[in-house]
Amino acid sequence: MVSTSATAARRLESADRSSLALDQLDARAVGGVADAIFADAALPSDDALGGVDELRARWTRAFLDVREETERRAAPLSPEDQIIQSMPDVSPTKWHRAHTSWFFEQFLLVPHARDYRVFDQQFSYLFNSYYVAAGERHARPKRGLITRPNADQITAYRSHIDAAVCGLIDKAPTRDLATVFPIVEIGLHHEQQHQELMLTDILHAFAQNPTAPAYDEGWRSHQPGMGVTEFVDLPEGIHELGHDGDGFAFDNEGPRHRAFIGAGRIGRGLVTNGQWLEFIADAGYTTAALWLSDGWTQVQTEGWAAPGYWQSRDGQWLTMTLGGLRPIDPDSAVTHVSYYEADAFAHWAGKALPSEIEWEVACRSGRIADAFGVVWQWTRSAYGPYPGYRAVAGALGEYNGKFMVNQMVLRGSSLATPAGHARASYRNFFYPSARWQFTGLRLAEDRA
């Protein structure tokens, strides 16, 4: 994951506007001092160093706030909970906590912190994910077999990394900050991604437990939906698409380019559970004509008859949530549906899924409701590079580009997405069969 800015130094000039919501974290850069340090200009004089100290302090607070949020999300889980891996696509909570720490160690501390002491040489093998350039790694489907190091040792590892990163931010020579701060920023966004995965992954694990344990008894189940979908016109014509360079972005959000939208409409609201119940009642899961061929095969192979985590008991539909097993709320947005299911529902409704271009333009122009914070929304767009996209060299360039095949784009964010980690240009992507994430949909239609 890398930023789209021309240089990391110039990206830090916009740190006070970062989509990491550093204003929420009380970590906005001091504008004038940041410009002086991170622009291609002379370093500030000694009398400006008070501003540099404030900038260091704010980045330290941003770092610690994100790191503490990871621990807050892990806190309800026992050591046993943190080990479990319920399928190859998910990871144990303990692994997420360690991997995000390894990221800072591998890409920030080892190259840039003088006299840094690696916590444990074996951790690089255990907690690398898929960065081939960073060395060999433990197989992803076997992460749940790593009972040792235990959760307490991972806590000690995180404390070791926290102290070292805070020390680096505090002590790094001023001339090095243009290199240090961008890596800290990337690492924070990376950790926020794993904070969301911690919740989706433990939900999948708990859903396999016949006692239906709750991660958080107070977890909010209701998510807004509009029931009867209102369609609004899309602005036909050529539009700018992709990240506009203001604040942080991953490299797959650019380059910014122009794209054409034809005549059409998009649903203001999200599809609800109530609408999905109508789809089920109308034999949606048993009507082959509604489904893509691969999707129909998935239905037959997996025995799908409802969204993920739904189950019927005594004529009532229930769903597994982070608050435990609860009745389906017909007014809430449907979630845990795959791309195949979303596409079949759209066909059943006589509509379509929006393209990611349509979604982004509608979002930026205020045409849609609940764009963020409810469910990730499937689009009909295949995940691929924007015109002119080039992955950067090195291990960090492996994050997005090498996955640009056989996956579909989702837009928005979900109720599990950390605050400040959403923007109109964000491109999430998953395989079309995936439904353990908080994934839903809104519809689109051609305009006659």
Q: pLDDT tens for residues 378-419?
A: 999 999 999 998 887 766 665 666 777 889 999 999 999 999
Q: Can you tell me the distance from the alpha carbon of 293 to that of 303, in angstroms, rounded to the nearest whole number?
A: 15
DSSP calls for 12-66 = HTTGGG-TTTTTTTT----HHHHHHHHSSSPPPPGGGHHHHHHHHHHHHHHHHHH
Both tokens of residue 260?
Answer: 């054409």
Residue with tokens 């947005």: 333
Q: pLDDT tens for residues 283-317?
A: 999 999 999 999 999 999 999 999 999 999 998 99
Q: pLDDT tens for residues 320-362?
A: 999 999 999 999 999 999 999 999 999 999 999 999 999 999 9
Match domain 231-446 to its CATH number in 3.30.930.10, 3.90.1580.10, 3.40.50.2000, 3.40.50.80: 3.90.1580.10
Which parts of 75-117 fold into alpha helices (H)?
93-104, 110-112
For a pLDDT cut of 70, what percent of the chain falls above it? 85
Confidence grade of residue 50 (pLDDT, cut at 50, 70, 90): low
Average pLDDT taken over every residue of the chain = 87
Mean pLDDT of 230-249: 93
DSSP state of 109: I
Buried b (16+ CB within 10 A) or exposed e, 125-145: ebbbbebeebeeebeeeebbe
Q: Nearest CA to 408 among 368, 334, 333, 354?
A: 354
CB atoms within 10 A of CB 53: 13
Asked if 94 contacts 151 with a C-beta cutoff of 8 angstroms, the reply is yes
* pLDDT at residue 392 in the model: 75
Q: Can you tell me the distance from the alpha carbon of 342 to that of 270, in angstroms, rounded to the nearest whole number?
A: 12
Residue with tokens 């469910």: 375
Q: pLDDT tens for residues 148-184?
A: 999 999 999 999 999 999 999 999 999 999 999 999 9
187: CB partners within 8 A, 6+ apart: 100, 103, 104, 107, 108
Confidence grade of residue 40 (pLDDT, cut at 50, 70, 90): very low
Identify which of 1-5, 132-136, 170-174 has the greatest average pLDDT: 170-174
Structure-model confidence comparison of residues 24 and 422, the more confident one: 422
Both tokens of residue 74?
Answer: 């892990």
Strand, coil or helix: what is 385? coil
* pLDDT at residue 29 in the model: 33
For a pLDDT cut of 90, what percent of the chain falls above it? 77
Amino acid letter, 219:
W
CB atoms within 10 A of CB 61: 15
What is the location of CATH 3.90.1580.10 in the chain?
Answer: 231-446
